[in-house]
Amino acid sequence: MHRWFMPINILITFIIGSALGFILVKVTRAPQHVKGLILGCCASGNLGNLPLIIIPAVCKEQGSPFGAPDVCHKYGMAYASISMAIGAVYLWSYVFNIIRVSASKMTREEHKIDESVKDTECTVDTKKLVQECPEALLPSTKRTSTDDLDELTLPLVNPDSNCQVSTWGKLKQCLTKISKKINLQSLLAPSTIGALVGFIVGVVPHIRGLLIGTGAPLRAIEDSASLLGDAAIPAVTLIMGGNLLRGLRGSGVQLSLIAGVVAVRYIFLPIVGIVVVKGALYFGLVHDDPLYLFVLLLQYALPPAMNIGTMTQLFGAGESECSVVMLWTYALASVALTVWSTFFMWLVA
């Protein structure tokens, strides 16, 4: 149970964060086009590049409670990598569908407004037509024999329409409805595929022996993947900085929404994380490893995931507001992460 608590802990962060985001949306009466953005920012933290930057830096600190720096770096990077992989799966399967559903509701509301405008215009045109030519709307008094036959014609009844559907048919219909409501193609995102491939390589001993290690026959693949991974961290950080620059222009987003997201990510979620992790330690669900506990606690104090900006651009809902929210949350992340990381290190020591 100790090793499997991390995916459960990340799932708890998503569920509690989305619940707090739902409360924030109701209290602030957020517009429909930003509801998915607020729920996503409150639910998902940046489990990607930030832990890979923070944990090695913490291991190198003098007086660190995590033991020898090389051992701390080895296990810390393993914990951060698992956290990143699991977070990617949850992000593209859970948060992606939250933003998609919110954007589809916004599209339906806009469609209803357009239809109401068209109906109003049609009503006005009909009134003008009645005033100009009332004879055109009078019913015809001529009847034909074919009209009488049409009225007497009875509808055909399908004898098989009342037959019972089998259990397999009901299950198939249920799965079809679920697949339509939940976009399962989001699970084929590059980050999700990479995480699944990494799990398979790590779990299957024969594949791991071929790819991992100095004596592996295909160790060139591991070296290439490691080289690309090392370059991905600064590249993603630069992209993040470029996206935050758009937030300086502003978009008229409510100040209460920004303050609410900041409070959820940097006040309420870390407090909940302390209760959850300490409770798990008390009931024996996790072992008393300071580094492992620190990684679990850190998952509650991270800023929103940067892939939320990609999702808002994909659906065209809250794109400019996302830049503003990201700007303020990441501007305050330097202070919040420093304070909470120091407190967490004192707590697990």
Rounded to the nearest angstrom, the gap between the alpha carbon of residue 80 and the centroid of all alpha carbons in its chain is 19
**pLDDT interval class at 269 (50, 70, 90):** very high
Q: Is the pLDDT of residue 334 over 80?
A: yes
pLDDT at 216: 81
**Which carries the bigger pLDDT value, residue 291 or residue 223?**
291
Instruction: Report DSSP letters for 10-36, one per residue.
Output: HHHHHHHHHHHHHHHHHHHT--HHHHH
Which tens digit of pLDDT belongs to each residue from 103-158?
A: 887 666 555 555 555 555 555 555 565 566 555 545 555 555 455 545 445 455 45
Question: What integer pLDDT is reported at residue 161 of this predicted model?
Answer: 45
Q: What is the mean pLDDT of residues 50-60?
A: 88
What single DSSP character describes residue 197? H
Q: Who's near 290: CB < 8 A, 6+ residues apart?
A: 65, 66, 348, 349
Mean pLDDT value across residues 201-216: 80
DSSP state letter for 247: G
The Cα–Cα gap between 83 and 79 comes to: 6
For residues 76 and 333, the answer to whether their CB atoms sit within 8 Å is no
Q: Which residue has the higher pLDDT, 5 or 151?
A: 5
Give the count of beta carbons closer than 10 Å to the beta carbon of residue 55: 24
The yes-or-no verdict on residue 234 having pLDDT over 70 is: yes
Q: Find all residues with CB under 8 Å of 106, minimum gap 6, and list them.
A: 32, 33, 317
Which residue has better confidence, 177 or 64? 64
CA 53 to CA 300: how far, in whole Å?
16
Q: Determine the pLDDT at residue 246.
A: 64
Cα–Cα distance between 44 and 300 in angstroms, integer?
Answer: 9
Q: What is the pTM of this model?
A: 0.74
What is the identity of the amino acid at 182?
A: I
**pLDDT attached to residue 117:** 54
User: Which candidate, 87, 45, 79, places its Cα nearest to that of 291?
Assistant: 79
pLDDT class for 266, splitting at 50, 70, 90? very high
Q: What is the pLDDT of residues 7-33, one digit of tens each?
A: 999 999 999 999 999 999 999 988 888
Answer with the residue of higher pLDDT: 166 or 305.
305
DSSP code at position 91: I
Mean pLDDT of 320-348: 90
Lowest mean pLDDT among 63-67, 68-72, 270-274: 63-67
Q: How confident is the model at residue 162 (pLDDT cuts 50, 70, 90)?
A: very low
Closest Cα to residue 27, out of 246, 263, 197, 203? 263
> What's the rounded Cα separation, in Å, for the pair 50 and 98?
24
Q: Across all residues in the chain, what is the average pLDDT?
A: 79
